[in-house]
Structure 1
C-alpha cells in the first residue's frame, strides 16, 4: 500500500506542475481561459491530495522520518511550501512579464531542489540534519542570486 501511495504522491506532483505550466502559458498570453473552473480548482484539489499522501507516508514511513524531528523530512516540507509560494507569486502576485519569468524559474528551481532532496537516499537512511540543511542553504543562496 505504501508504494501505491508513494507513486500517487509523485503523480500528483507531476500534475501540479502540468497545471502550473498550463496556467503560466495562458497567463502570459493573456487568455480568458485562465479563468476556467478546472484550472482554478484543480490545483487546490491536487494540493489537498498531496498533503493527504504526505501525511500517510509520514505516518507509515519505513525509515521513521518525521517533519520537525528529522532534517530531511522538514526540508522536503519546506521545499513544498516554497514551491507553492513560487507558483502563487508567478500566477497571482507578479504583474510584469519579467517577474513572472523570475517566478517560473523559482518554481522550477524549488521543484528540482525538492526532487533532488527526495532522491538523496544517503540523507534518508542516515537522517543527517546538516546535509539536509546544506541543501536548503544552497537553494536559498541560488534563489537569492537569481533574484
Structure 2
C-alpha cells in the first residue's frame, strides 16, 4: 500500500475517532442509553486500532519516530493525555459534572494532537 493511502486512512480514522468521542461525550452528558449500545462500545476500538496501526506504519515508512522527532514525541504525550482524560470522561469520573470537565480537557488534548500534526510544531499553543 502506498504512503498516501495509509495517510488518508490515518486522517480518516482521526476524524472518525474525534467525532465518535464527541458523540459519546454528548451521550454521557445527556445520560443517553445509546452510550452503552454495543456498537458504541465496539466501533471506537476498531477505529482506534486502525488509527494506531496506520500511525505506526506511517512512522516506519517515513523514518520518523517518537523520541527522535520532537513533534511525534509531543503527539505521543498528547495521545496519552487524551486517552487518560477520555477514560475519565466516559467511564471513571464519579459525577457527571466531573466527567464533563474531563471531556472538555480530552477535547483540548485532541485539538493539541491535531494542531501538532498539522504544524509539526510541539509548541503550537505558545
TM-score, with normalisation over the residues of structure 1?
0.76
Q: Distance in 1 between matches of 2:68 and 2:81?
A: 20
Shift of 1:98: 2.0
Cα deviation code 1:13-42 (max 9, x no counterpart)? 111112112212222222222211110011
Shift of 1:69: 1.9
The answer as to whether partners of 2:3 and 2:58 remain within 8 angstroms in 1 is yes
| Aligned equivalent of 1:38 | 39
Q: Distance in 1 between matches of 2:28 and 2:96?
A: 10
Q: Distance in 2 between matches of 1:16 and 1:8?
A: 12
For structure 2, list consecutive stretches of 5 or more residues without a partner in the other structure: none
Say which SS state the counterpart of residue 67 (structure 2) adopts: coil
| Aligned equivalent of 2:75 | 76
Larger of the two Rg values belongs to structure? 1
| Aligned equivalent of 1:60 | 61
Please give the root-mean-square deviation of Cα atoms over the aligned residues, in Å: 1.8
Q: Distance in 2 between matches of 1:17 and 1:67?
A: 22
TM-score, with normalisation over the residues of structure 2?
0.88
Shift of 1:82: 1.4
